[in-house]
Amino acid sequence: MGRRMKILFVGDVVGRPGRLAVAKQLPALRRARAVDVVVANAENAAGGHGATPEILRELQGYGVDAFTMGNHTWRKHAIYSALDSMPNIVRPANYPEGAPGRGAAVIKLRDGRKLGILNIMGRVYMEPLECPFRAADRLLPGLREETPLILVDVHAEATSEKVAMGWHLDGRCTAALGTHTHVQTGDEWILPGGTAYLTDTGMCGPMFSVIGTEREPVLKRFLTGLPQSFNVAKGPAMFCAVLVEADEETGQARSIERILIRNAG
C-alpha cells in the first residue's frame, strides 16, 4: 500500500458564525484525524458575501491551508489584490481572461508534498461564463504535470450539472466536491475511475437559518414576492466538511467521509 494523503475540504464558510465554527472545530479535528492539508471555500466568509485578506488570514490561523471561492468572489474589493498576491487562493477558473487571480494552483505542504486545486463554476441558474467542462479540460493537464493529487471545487447551483461534472472528471482528479448550495448531500462515493465525489459539501454557518441567512426576510420574500434585505443569521452554527484519503502515487481516492457537526460554534 502506497503512501496516503488526507485532504479535508471545508464547506462554504458563512460569516462570523461559520468562522467561529471553524475556529472551534478545525484544530482538534485536524489533529485527531491526522489531516495533511485543509482547503476551505471562503466566498461567503465576510458577512455572507465575499472575503477579505484579513478574514482569510484569520482562517489560516485556525488551520486552513488554501481557499476556493465562487460567484461572490468580487463582493469585497479588498480581495482583488489578494487574489494576485496570495498564491493559496483560487477563484473560479472560467471567469474571463483579465480577471484578478487564478483558477488553479499547486500548493506545497510543509513536508514538500503537493496538492493541485482547481475551482470551477457552473452556468445553470448562475452566470454565463466559459464552459466549466472545457475550462477543466484546459487546466487539468498542467496541474497533473506537477502532482497527481488534485482537488476540484465544483461551485454550482444545479445538482445535474455537478453530477455531470463528476463523471466528466472521473479518473482525472482526486476529488470533485460541490459547493454553493450550503446543504450537505448524502451521495458521497468514489466513482469507478477513482475520483471521490459529493454533490454538495454543505456549509459552516448558522443552524437556525435558511442556508445561512436570517429566516424571517427569506420567508417574507417567499410569501410576498417583495424584495428583502438578507443578513447572516445568529445563533449556534454547524460545521460541514469532507475528508478524502488518497494514494499519493496515483492520485486516486481510497476513501471519502462526510463530516457534519451541529452546535459547532
**Catalytic residue ranges:** 72
Q: Which of 202, 191, 142 is CA-nearest to residue 164?
A: 191
Residue pair 37/109 in contact (Cβ under 8 Å)? The answer is yes
Sign of the C-alpha dihedral computed for residues 20, 22, 27 and 31 taken in this order: positive
Coil, helix or strand for 245?
strand
Residue 4 identity (one-letter amino acid): R
At 209, which amino acid appears? S
Tell me how far apart the alpha carbons of residues 41 and 9 are, in angstroms, rounded to a whole number.
8
Q: With CA atoms as reference, report the closest residue to 150 among 179, 122, 180, 118.
A: 118
Q: 189-221 b/e with 16+ CB inside 10 Å = b? A: ebeeebbbbbbbbbbbbbbebbbbbbeebbeee
- H/E run at residue 239: strand 237-247
Residues 178, 199: Cα–Cα separation, whole Å: 5
What's the full length of the chain, in residues? 265
By the 8 A CB rule, do 192 and 203 touch? no
Could you give the CA distance from residue 8 to residue 35 in angstroms, rounded to a whole number?
A: 7
